[in-house]
Structure 1
Amino acid sequence: MTRTVNLYHAKTHLSALVDAAEPGEEITIAKNGVAKARLAPIPKAPRARQPSGAMKITCIVDDVDETDERTARDFEGSD
């Protein structure tokens, strides 16, 4: 979604406009009815996990964050 605001409104409501742009809204800033700038979200870069060197770990498997059902049952206990 894109909306256009005038420069005065952008100056007086910049914080609110940044909050609106963060989740994905694009805002065009116009001066005298002519578009001059665009406020858009910055894409989040995927964070690559790196081993810290503790315990001599040399790699991290891709599914390290997935839930292991057997382990989950062990934590929940059996009836």
Structure 2
Amino acid sequence: MQVTIHNAKTNLSKLIEAAKAGEEVIIAKGKIPVARIVAIPQNKFTIGLLEGKVTGDGPDFFEPMSEDDLALWEGKA
């Protein structure tokens, strides 16, 4: 959609919602396009996404490995 600067000032919230919905919004001075409103992609990353879903004890990385595990790790098994 193409709108004039005056229309863009009057309906900015609606134009932003249209851009978020994927519509191309062009602002024109008279009939000459001068600007485009585009949505910024929102980050979908959520901290703690697996909280409460992972059960059991994980490895203790600060404890020494057993001799058998160490031999496997060093390729001596």
Which residue number corresponds to residue 70 of structure 2? none
Runs of 4+ in 1 over 3 A off after TM superposition: 48-51
Q: How does 1:21-60 map to 2 (within 5 A)?
A: 21-47=19-45, 49-50=47-48
Which residue number corresponds to residue 77 of structure 1? none
- 1:27 deviates by 0.1
Q: Which amino acid counterpart does residue 34 of structure 1 have in structure 2?
A: I
Q: Indicate the structure (1 or 2) with the bigger Cα radius of gyration.
A: 2
What secondary structure does 1:35 align onto?
strand
How many residue pairs were aligned?
52
Where structure 2 has 5 or more consecutive residues not aligned to the other structure, the ranges are: 54-77
Q: Which amino acid counterpart does residue 35 of structure 2 have in structure 1?
A: A
Alignment partners' CA distance in 2, 1:16 and 1:22: 10
State the identity as a percent. 37
Q: TM (normalized to structure 2)?
A: 0.55
Correspondence for 1:4 among 2, 5, 8 = 2
Alignment RMSD (CA, Å): 2.2
Correspondence for 2:14 among 8, 13, 16 = 16
**Cα displacement string for residues 12-43 of structure 1 (whole angstroms, at most 9, x for unaligned residues):** 11111111111211200000211111001111
Q: TM (normalized to structure 1)?
A: 0.54
Where structure 1 has 5 or more consecutive residues not aligned to the other structure, the ranges are: 52-59, 65-79
Alignment partners' CA distance in 2, 1:8 and 1:39: 15
